[in-house]
Amino acid sequence: MLAIIPARGGSKGLPNKNIKLLIDKPLIAYTIEQALNAKMVSKVIVSTDSVEIADIAEKFGAEIPFLRPKKLATDTALAIDNYIYTVERLNLEKKMNIRSFVVLQPTSPLRTSENINEAIKLFIEKKADSIISYTEEQHPIYWHKKINNDLTFSNIFEEKLDNRQAFGKTYYPNGAIYVFNYNLIKQKKYYSDKSYAYIMNRKQSIDIDTIDDFEYAEFLLKRNK
């Protein structure tokens, strides 16, 4: 299965985060190596608008068939539009006939090759439209509220005053692994009644967006080593 690693150049929360040195190599290198070592992945490409990211990605073994147009690398550009663009262009120019693919964001350096293999196997076994990685939420979502400008509260959900143990488990997408049927993506949808969750633990689920996330990932990687 084709693996697409999306890595645009313009990151405002943590500038140049995709190529920021994490211990001994750029952040994106972790995801490239995980994908290359996953037995269920046949080809690894990086979708980027940045020549610098492209050069680094190639050094670690990924392919860069073309650069992403700038209009698909803005803060307001939708990821799904880039997936459609990438697959359509690969099918047209490289004659690849892609019917399904896996998306691996470079901001999840603690996922493993085995996580990727298991998610793809689940996709095949379930004959799914999509597999999306999730992790367990620590606190009931019913405790969440909006805080107004004057610091008063507004409910998001119907208020339930109960102990945490009384609520069922809830999960949220961790951004680490997406396996898609291309027909679903062409409809600009991530979910259907044939979508399933691949559950990952919290330590594997860190998604780097800020310097605090980056430093926590660095701490975990050092401890694992």
| pLDDT on residue 30 | 98
| pLDDT on residue 139 | 80
3-state secondary structure the chain: CEEEEECCCCCCCCCCHHHCEECCEEHHHHHHHHHHCCCCCCEEEEECCCHHHHHHHHHCCCECCCCCCHHHCCCCCCHHHHHHHHHHHHHHHCCCCCCEEEECCCCCCCCCHHHHHHHHHHHHHHCCCEEEEEEECCCCHHHCEEECCCCCEEECCCCCCCCHHHCCCCEEEEEEEEEEEHHHHHCCCCCCCCEEEEECCCCCCCCCCCHHHHHHHHHHHHHHC
Put simply, whether the predicted model's pTM sits higher than 0.85 gets the answer yes
Would you say residue 72 has pLDDT above 90?
yes
Kindly report the average pLDDT of the chain as a whole number: 93
Domain ranges of the chain: 2-137+170-220
Encode pLDDT of 194-208 as tens digits: 999 999 999 999 999
Encode pLDDT of 5-57 as tens digits: 999 987 777 889 999 999 999 999 999 999 999 999 999 999 999 999 999 99
| pLDDT on residue 195 | 98
| pLDDT on residue 209 | 92
Average pLDDT score over residue span 137-165: 82
pLDDT band at 98 (very low <50, low <70, confident <90, very high): very high
Class of domain 2-137+170-220: alpha beta
| pLDDT on residue 164 | 61
| pLDDT on residue 142 | 79
| pLDDT on residue 161 | 65
